[in-house]
């Protein structure tokens, strides 16, 4: 039995998910919390629910998804995990922030473990498969729980939209092909939890998504 808690964080309204199961172990997906209030919202939820954090996962390394990485790494003594193809983005964190009009200095947290499709994420009784779907960023990952029919899609797939492809190493054709081959081949009742905006289902997106 999976419990998914969504926090909408920072000035770009990123979905940060805390995913736990019946063992009370959990993972944090896209810890984009920014500032003391958002940080304590997350840690308070984890504490109040007696959760043990096993992994910090990033769907990709755009600034808005990683703003809380340094804090969370420090607080939980865990290093974030992401795909190596996005590592270059850490070097331009400051430029990315400025592009969005954010003048704050944020120190990028180094990635502890690079993950790809040959890895499986374990916590409690739960397993997540990794799907590599580049095009929004070259290292964009989706995390799929086959047993629970749940997909965390990052900025690859949104409700009736897809990730923008005008950022460094973005590729519209590659993104659409990846969504077609790797996501639209999943069962239609899989619930999709994206990096921004409301949840949807694979079936809904096959039917109504105008971009793919």
Provide, rounded to whole angstroms, the least separation between the CB of residue 123 and Zn ion: 24
DSSP the chain: --EEEEEEETTTTEEEEEEE-TTSEEEEE-----SHHHHHHHHHHHHHTT-EEEEEE-S---HHHHTTHHHHHHHHT--EEE-GGGTHHHHTHHHHHHHTT-----PPPPPSEE--TT-EEEETTEEEEEEE--SSSTT-EEEEETTTTEEEEETTEETTEE----STT--HHHHHHHIIIIITTS-TTPEEEESSS--EEHHHHHHH-TT-
In the complex with Zn ion, the residue whose CB is nearer, 155 or 205, is 155
In the complex with Zn ion, the residue whose CB is nearer, 124 or 194, is 194
Is 62 a binding residue for Zn ion by CB under 5 A? The answer is yes
Q: Which of residues 163-202 bind Zn ion (CB under 5 A)?
A: none
Stretch that binds Zn ion, among 31-39, 61-69, 144-152, 202-210 (CB under 5 A): 61-69
Provide, rounded to whole angstroms, the least separation between the CB of residue 201 and Zn ion: 22
In the complex with Zn ion, the residue whose CB is nearer, 124 or 163, is 163
Stretch that binds Zn ion, among 28-36, 58-66, 72-80, 112-120 (CB under 5 A): 58-66
In the complex with Zn ion, the residue whose CB is nearer, 46 or 56, is 56
x-marked contacts with Zn ion along 137-166 as a string, rule CB under 5 A: ------------------x-----------
Binding site for Zn ion (CB under 5 A): 62, 155
């Amino acid at each position: 039995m999976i419990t998914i808690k969504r926090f909408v964080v920072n000035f770009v309204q990123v979905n940060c998910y805390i995913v736990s199961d019946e063992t009370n172990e959990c993972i944090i997906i896209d810890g984009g919390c920014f500032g003391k209030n958002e940080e304590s919202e997350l840690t308070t939820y984890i504490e109040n629910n007696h959760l043990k954090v096993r992994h910090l996962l990033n769907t990709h390394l755009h600034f808005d998804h990683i703003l809380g990485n340094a804090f969370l790494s420090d607080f939980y003594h865990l290093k974030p995990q992401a795909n190596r193809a996005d590592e270059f983005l850490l070097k331009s964190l400051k430029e990315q922030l400025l592009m969005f009009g954010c003048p704050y200095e944020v120190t990028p947290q180094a990635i502890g473990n690079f993950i790809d499709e040959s890895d499986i994420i374990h916590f409690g009784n739960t397993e997540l498969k990794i799907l590599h779907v580049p095009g929004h960023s070259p290292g964009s990952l989706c995390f799929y729980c086959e047993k629970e029919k749940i997909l965390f899609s990052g900025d690859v797939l949104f409700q009736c939209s897809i990730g923008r492809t005008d950022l460094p190493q973005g590729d519209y054709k590659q993104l659409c092909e990846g969504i077609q081959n790797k996501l639209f081949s999943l069962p239609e009742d899989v619930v999709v939890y994206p990096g921004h905006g409301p949840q949807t289902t694979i079936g809904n997106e096959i039917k109504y998504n105008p971009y793919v």
